[in-house]
Chains A and B, each alone.
Chain A
Amino acid sequence: MHELAITQAILSIVLEAAEAAGARRVTAVELTVGALTGYVDDSIRFYFERLSEGTLAEGALLRIRREPGEGRCRACGGAFPVEPPLLPACPLCGSPDIWITGGNRCLVERIEVEDGDPHPGGEGHPQRQ
Protein backbone atom coordinates (compact mmCIF):
# COMPACT_ATOMS: atom_id res chain seq x y z
CA MET A 1 0.00 0.00 0.00
CA HIS A 2 2.75 2.37 1.03
CA GLU A 3 4.93 1.62 -1.98
CA LEU A 4 1.94 1.92 -4.32
CA ALA A 5 1.64 5.67 -3.69
CA ILE A 6 5.43 6.04 -3.76
CA THR A 7 5.70 4.19 -7.07
CA GLN A 8 2.88 6.24 -8.60
CA ALA A 9 4.91 9.35 -7.76
CA ILE A 10 8.07 7.81 -9.27
CA LEU A 11 6.26 6.86 -12.47
CA SER A 12 4.68 10.27 -12.89
CA ILE A 13 8.10 11.99 -12.59
CA VAL A 14 9.59 9.51 -15.09
CA LEU A 15 6.81 9.98 -17.64
CA GLU A 16 6.90 13.77 -17.30
CA ALA A 17 10.65 13.81 -17.96
CA ALA A 18 10.33 11.35 -20.86
CA GLU A 19 7.53 13.29 -22.52
CA ALA A 20 9.39 16.59 -22.07
CA ALA A 21 12.35 15.02 -23.89
CA GLY A 22 10.14 13.67 -26.68
CA ALA A 23 11.29 10.15 -25.89
CA ARG A 24 9.83 7.13 -27.66
CA ARG A 25 10.46 4.74 -24.81
CA VAL A 26 12.06 4.71 -21.35
CA THR A 27 14.61 1.91 -21.09
CA ALA A 28 15.96 2.50 -17.56
CA VAL A 29 15.22 4.51 -14.42
CA GLU A 30 17.86 5.29 -11.80
CA LEU A 31 16.58 5.82 -8.27
CA THR A 32 18.29 6.75 -5.04
CA VAL A 33 16.47 5.29 -2.06
CA GLY A 34 17.63 6.12 1.45
CA ALA A 35 18.11 3.17 3.79
CA LEU A 36 15.87 4.89 6.37
CA THR A 37 12.89 5.56 4.07
CA GLY A 38 11.48 2.12 4.77
CA TYR A 39 10.76 1.64 1.06
CA VAL A 40 11.15 -1.96 -0.05
CA ASP A 41 12.94 -2.41 -3.40
CA ASP A 42 11.00 -5.50 -4.43
CA SER A 43 7.73 -3.78 -3.68
CA ILE A 44 8.66 -0.73 -5.79
CA ARG A 45 9.68 -3.06 -8.64
CA PHE A 46 6.42 -4.99 -8.34
CA TYR A 47 4.25 -1.88 -8.54
CA PHE A 48 6.40 -0.23 -11.20
CA GLU A 49 6.02 -3.19 -13.50
CA ARG A 50 2.23 -3.08 -13.20
CA LEU A 51 1.68 0.67 -13.12
CA SER A 52 3.93 1.25 -16.15
CA GLU A 53 2.01 -1.14 -18.38
CA GLY A 54 0.81 0.68 -21.48
CA THR A 55 3.03 3.73 -20.79
CA LEU A 56 6.33 4.91 -22.27
CA ALA A 57 8.05 3.30 -19.27
CA GLU A 58 6.68 -0.20 -19.77
CA GLY A 59 9.52 -2.70 -19.45
CA ALA A 60 12.02 -0.11 -18.17
CA LEU A 61 14.82 -1.44 -15.99
CA LEU A 62 14.85 -0.04 -12.44
CA ARG A 63 18.32 0.63 -11.04
CA ILE A 64 17.99 1.30 -7.34
CA ARG A 65 20.94 2.78 -5.45
CA ARG A 66 20.64 2.50 -1.69
CA GLU A 67 21.86 5.55 0.20
CA PRO A 68 23.21 4.63 3.65
CA GLY A 69 21.70 6.12 6.79
CA GLU A 70 23.81 8.61 8.73
CA GLY A 71 23.35 10.21 12.12
CA ARG A 72 25.02 12.94 14.11
CA CYS A 73 25.25 13.53 17.85
CA ARG A 74 24.76 17.04 19.15
CA ALA A 75 26.38 16.19 22.46
CA CYS A 76 29.74 14.83 21.26
CA GLY A 77 29.61 16.00 17.64
CA GLY A 78 30.26 12.48 16.38
CA ALA A 79 28.89 11.13 13.10
CA PHE A 80 27.95 7.49 12.70
CA PRO A 81 26.19 5.11 10.31
CA VAL A 82 22.55 4.38 11.09
CA GLU A 83 20.80 1.19 10.11
CA PRO A 84 17.20 0.33 10.91
CA PRO A 85 16.13 -0.25 13.63
CA LEU A 86 17.13 3.19 14.79
CA LEU A 87 19.26 3.56 17.87
CA PRO A 88 17.77 5.58 20.70
CA ALA A 89 21.18 6.96 21.71
CA CYS A 90 24.57 7.94 20.29
CA PRO A 91 26.77 4.83 19.88
CA LEU A 92 29.82 6.96 20.74
CA CYS A 93 28.78 8.76 23.93
CA GLY A 94 25.28 7.45 24.79
CA SER A 95 23.50 10.81 24.50
CA PRO A 96 19.88 10.66 23.22
CA ASP A 97 20.42 14.01 21.45
CA ILE A 98 21.00 12.46 18.01
CA TRP A 99 19.69 13.45 14.58
CA ILE A 100 19.37 11.80 11.21
CA THR A 101 21.55 13.55 8.63
CA GLY A 102 21.29 11.16 5.68
CA GLY A 103 19.43 8.22 4.24
CA ASN A 104 15.86 9.47 4.27
CA ARG A 105 15.65 10.75 0.69
CA CYS A 106 14.14 9.15 -2.38
CA LEU A 107 15.03 10.69 -5.74
CA VAL A 108 14.58 9.90 -9.39
CA GLU A 109 18.20 10.60 -10.46
CA ARG A 110 17.99 10.07 -14.21
CA ILE A 111 16.29 8.08 -16.90
CA GLU A 112 17.55 6.45 -20.08
CA VAL A 113 15.33 6.80 -23.10
CA GLU A 114 15.19 5.87 -26.73
CA ASP A 115 14.85 9.06 -28.72
CA GLY A 116 11.70 9.81 -30.62
CA ASP A 117 11.81 9.98 -34.38
CA PRO A 118 13.41 13.32 -35.25
CA HIS A 119 11.16 13.47 -38.34
CA PRO A 120 7.57 13.10 -37.18
CA GLY A 121 5.60 10.85 -39.44
CA GLY A 122 8.85 9.27 -40.61
CA GLU A 123 7.58 5.75 -40.19
CA GLY A 124 6.51 4.33 -43.50
CA HIS A 125 8.65 6.78 -45.49
CA PRO A 126 10.41 5.11 -48.36
CA GLN A 127 13.93 4.16 -47.40
CA ARG A 128 16.64 6.42 -48.59
CA GLN A 129 18.93 4.94 -51.14
Chain B
Amino acid sequence: MATHIPVVKAILSANDAVAAENRAAFDAAGLLAVNLMSSPGAGKTSLILATLERLPPSLRAGVIEGDIASTLDAERIAARNIPVVQINTGGACHLDAPMVRSALSHLPLPDLDLLFIENVGNLVCPAEFDLGAHLRIVVASVPEGHDKPYKYPGMFQKADAVVLNKVDLMPLHRLRPLRLPARPVDPPPGDPALPPVVSDRPGRG
Protein backbone atom coordinates (compact mmCIF):
# COMPACT_ATOMS: atom_id res chain seq x y z
CA MET B 1 0.00 0.00 0.00
CA ALA B 2 1.33 3.46 -0.92
CA THR B 3 1.82 6.06 1.78
CA HIS B 4 2.67 9.74 1.48
CA ILE B 5 5.38 10.96 3.81
CA PRO B 6 5.82 14.72 4.19
CA VAL B 7 9.51 15.64 4.30
CA VAL B 8 9.85 19.39 3.52
CA LYS B 9 13.60 19.58 3.85
CA ALA B 10 15.94 21.95 2.03
CA ILE B 11 18.25 19.80 -0.01
CA LEU B 12 21.46 21.26 1.37
CA SER B 13 20.35 21.05 5.00
CA ALA B 14 23.02 18.41 5.81
CA ASN B 15 25.76 20.72 4.49
CA ASP B 16 24.22 23.71 6.25
CA ALA B 17 24.22 21.89 9.60
CA VAL B 18 27.98 21.25 9.33
CA ALA B 19 28.46 24.87 8.18
CA ALA B 20 26.77 26.00 11.40
CA GLU B 21 29.23 23.85 13.38
CA ASN B 22 32.14 25.42 11.51
CA ARG B 23 30.78 28.90 12.22
CA ALA B 24 30.48 28.03 15.91
CA ALA B 25 34.12 26.83 15.90
CA PHE B 26 35.23 30.10 14.27
CA ASP B 27 33.26 32.14 16.80
CA ALA B 28 34.67 30.13 19.70
CA ALA B 29 38.19 30.86 18.41
CA GLY B 30 37.29 34.53 17.96
CA LEU B 31 38.32 34.68 14.31
CA LEU B 32 36.77 36.08 11.15
CA ALA B 33 36.39 33.52 8.36
CA VAL B 34 36.15 34.64 4.74
CA ASN B 35 35.02 32.39 1.86
CA LEU B 36 36.86 33.72 -1.18
CA MET B 37 35.35 32.70 -4.54
CA SER B 38 36.08 33.52 -8.18
CA SER B 39 36.68 32.03 -11.58
CA PRO B 40 40.05 30.25 -12.04
CA GLY B 41 42.88 32.73 -12.36
CA ALA B 42 41.06 35.81 -11.06
CA GLY B 43 43.79 36.22 -8.45
CA LYS B 44 42.43 34.80 -5.19
CA THR B 45 45.79 33.53 -3.91
CA SER B 46 47.63 36.68 -5.01
CA LEU B 47 44.95 38.83 -3.38
CA ILE B 48 45.31 36.90 -0.11
CA LEU B 49 49.08 37.40 -0.16
CA ALA B 50 48.81 41.08 -1.12
CA THR B 51 46.20 41.65 1.60
CA LEU B 52 48.27 39.96 4.30
CA GLU B 53 51.26 42.10 3.37
CA ARG B 54 49.20 45.21 4.09
CA LEU B 55 47.78 44.01 7.39
CA PRO B 56 49.67 44.63 10.64
CA PRO B 57 51.96 41.71 11.58
CA SER B 58 50.18 41.44 14.91
CA LEU B 59 47.10 40.15 13.06
CA ARG B 60 47.48 36.41 12.73
CA ALA B 61 45.97 34.81 9.63
CA GLY B 62 45.55 31.28 8.33
CA VAL B 63 44.51 29.96 4.94
CA ILE B 64 42.59 26.94 3.65
CA GLU B 65 43.29 26.32 -0.03
CA GLY B 66 40.75 24.43 -2.12
CA ASP B 67 41.75 22.96 -5.46
CA ILE B 68 40.81 19.92 -7.48
CA ALA B 69 44.45 18.85 -7.51
CA SER B 70 47.98 20.03 -6.58
CA THR B 71 49.49 21.88 -3.62
CA LEU B 72 50.77 24.81 -5.72
CA ASP B 73 48.69 27.47 -3.97
CA ALA B 74 49.41 26.12 -0.49
CA GLU B 75 53.14 26.23 -1.26
CA ARG B 76 52.88 29.92 -2.18
CA ILE B 77 51.17 30.65 1.15
CA ALA B 78 53.49 28.42 3.20
CA ALA B 79 56.52 30.21 1.70
CA ARG B 80 55.38 33.27 3.70
CA ASN B 81 55.23 31.26 6.95
CA ILE B 82 51.45 31.48 7.08
CA PRO B 83 49.60 28.43 8.46
CA VAL B 84 47.91 26.74 5.51
CA VAL B 85 45.99 23.55 4.73
CA GLN B 86 45.46 22.34 1.19
CA ILE B 87 42.20 20.53 0.44
CA ASN B 88 42.27 18.53 -2.78
CA THR B 89 38.68 17.84 -3.76
CA GLY B 90 39.72 15.08 -6.15
CA GLY B 91 37.37 16.23 -8.87
CA ALA B 92 34.63 18.04 -6.95
CA CYS B 93 34.15 21.54 -8.32
CA HIS B 94 33.57 23.27 -4.98
CA LEU B 95 34.38 23.08 -1.28
CA ASP B 96 31.62 21.96 1.07
CA ALA B 97 31.24 22.36 4.81
CA PRO B 98 32.44 18.83 5.75
CA MET B 99 35.67 19.35 3.74
CA VAL B 100 36.35 22.57 5.64
CA ARG B 101 35.56 20.88 8.96
CA SER B 102 38.14 18.20 8.23
CA ALA B 103 40.76 20.88 7.49
CA LEU B 104 40.19 22.82 10.71
CA SER B 105 41.96 20.28 12.91
CA HIS B 106 45.18 21.05 10.99
CA LEU B 107 45.10 24.76 11.82
CA PRO B 108 45.92 26.54 15.11
CA LEU B 109 42.43 28.09 15.27
CA PRO B 110 42.69 29.70 18.73
CA ASP B 111 45.85 31.53 17.60
CA LEU B 112 44.20 33.02 14.48
CA ASP B 113 42.34 36.31 14.00
CA LEU B 114 41.54 35.81 10.32
CA LEU B 115 40.97 32.74 8.15
CA PHE B 116 40.80 32.89 4.37
CA ILE B 117 39.08 29.91 2.76
CA GLU B 118 40.03 29.97 -0.90
CA ASN B 119 37.37 28.04 -2.78
CA VAL B 120 37.86 26.07 -6.00
CA GLY B 121 38.02 28.46 -8.96
CA ASN B 122 34.48 28.23 -10.34
CA LEU B 123 31.64 30.75 -10.59
CA VAL B 124 28.86 28.13 -10.33
CA CYS B 125 28.90 25.48 -7.62
CA PRO B 126 30.78 27.22 -4.77
CA ALA B 127 27.86 29.66 -4.48
CA GLU B 128 25.58 26.84 -3.34
CA PHE B 129 27.55 25.55 -0.39
CA ASP B 130 27.71 27.45 2.88
CA LEU B 131 31.08 26.71 4.49
CA GLY B 132 30.34 28.48 7.77
CA ALA B 133 32.41 31.54 6.85
CA HIS B 134 31.23 34.94 8.10
CA LEU B 135 31.72 36.62 4.74
CA ARG B 136 31.44 35.52 1.12
CA ILE B 137 33.67 37.62 -1.07
CA VAL B 138 33.76 37.25 -4.85
CA VAL B 139 36.89 38.31 -6.73
CA ALA B 140 36.09 39.46 -10.26
CA SER B 141 38.93 40.52 -12.54
CA VAL B 142 39.10 42.91 -15.45
CA PRO B 143 40.08 40.36 -18.16
CA GLU B 144 36.92 38.34 -17.43
CA GLY B 145 34.77 41.12 -18.90
CA HIS B 146 31.77 43.00 -17.57
CA ASP B 147 29.16 40.30 -18.13
CA LYS B 148 29.98 37.71 -15.47
CA PRO B 149 27.34 38.90 -12.96
CA TYR B 150 24.72 38.32 -15.66
CA LYS B 151 26.07 34.93 -16.68
CA TYR B 152 26.64 33.63 -13.15
CA PRO B 153 24.00 35.45 -11.12
CA GLY B 154 23.95 33.03 -8.18
CA MET B 155 27.55 33.71 -7.30
CA PHE B 156 27.14 37.48 -7.29
CA GLN B 157 23.72 37.49 -5.62
CA LYS B 158 25.04 35.70 -2.58
CA ALA B 159 28.22 37.74 -2.21
CA ASP B 160 28.65 40.07 0.75
CA ALA B 161 31.23 41.98 -1.30
CA VAL B 162 32.73 41.90 -4.77
CA VAL B 163 36.37 42.89 -5.28
CA LEU B 164 37.39 43.91 -8.80
CA ASN B 165 40.99 42.80 -9.30
CA LYS B 166 43.62 43.48 -11.99
CA VAL B 167 42.51 47.08 -12.49
CA ASP B 168 46.04 47.76 -13.76
CA LEU B 169 44.88 45.95 -16.93
CA MET B 170 41.97 48.35 -17.41
CA PRO B 171 43.71 50.30 -20.20
CA LEU B 172 43.92 47.06 -22.22
CA HIS B 173 40.24 46.21 -21.82
CA ARG B 174 37.05 48.06 -22.51
CA LEU B 175 35.22 47.15 -19.35
CA ARG B 176 31.68 48.41 -19.13
CA PRO B 177 30.44 49.51 -15.72
CA LEU B 178 29.77 46.51 -13.50
CA ARG B 179 26.14 46.34 -12.41
CA LEU B 180 25.31 43.68 -9.92
CA PRO B 181 22.08 41.67 -10.09
CA ALA B 182 19.49 41.57 -7.35
CA ARG B 183 20.47 39.77 -4.17
CA PRO B 184 18.37 37.30 -2.19
CA VAL B 185 18.60 38.99 1.20
CA ASP B 186 18.09 42.57 2.23
CA PRO B 187 21.36 44.37 2.90
CA PRO B 188 21.87 46.86 5.67
CA PRO B 189 20.84 50.36 4.56
CA GLY B 190 23.62 52.22 2.80
CA ASP B 191 25.18 49.02 1.41
CA PRO B 192 27.64 50.08 -1.27
CA ALA B 193 26.52 49.20 -4.80
CA LEU B 194 29.94 49.48 -6.42
CA PRO B 195 32.74 47.00 -5.75
CA PRO B 196 36.13 47.98 -4.34
CA VAL B 197 38.73 47.96 -7.12
CA VAL B 198 42.22 46.62 -6.54
CA SER B 199 45.23 45.19 -8.27
CA ASP B 200 47.27 42.43 -6.69
CA ARG B 201 50.39 43.71 -8.51
CA PRO B 202 52.77 45.60 -6.24
CA GLY B 203 52.06 49.31 -6.15
CA ARG B 204 49.17 49.13 -8.61
CA GLY B 205 46.12 49.14 -6.38
By a beta-carbon cutoff of 8 Å, the part of chain A in contact with chain B is 1-2, 5-6, 9-10, 12-14, 17-18, 21, 23, 27, 36-38, 71, 74, 82, 84-89, 96, 98-101, 104-115
B20 → A minimal CB distance (Å): 16
A91 → B minimal CB distance (Å): 11
What are 30 A-to-B residue pairs whose CB atoms are below 8 Å? Answer: A2-B128, A5-B92, A5-B129, A6-B11, A9-B12, A13-B9, A13-B14, A23-B5, A36-B154, A82-B182, A86-B181, A87-B182, A88-B181, A96-B179, A96-B180, A99-B183, A99-B186, A100-B157, A100-B184, A104-B154, A106-B10, A106-B11, A107-B9, A107-B10, A108-B7, A110-B6, A111-B4, A112-B2, A112-B3, A115-B3
Q: Give me 13 other A-B pairs in contact (C-beta within 8 A), A9-B12, A88-B179 excluded.
A: A5-B129, A13-B7, A17-B7, A86-B182, A88-B150, A99-B182, A104-B154, A104-B157, A106-B10, A107-B10, A107-B11, A109-B7, A110-B6
- In the bound complex, residues from chain A placing their C-beta under 8 Å from that of B9 are 13, 17, 107-108
With A71-B182, A105-B10 as contacts: A38 and B2 at CB distance below 8 Å:
no
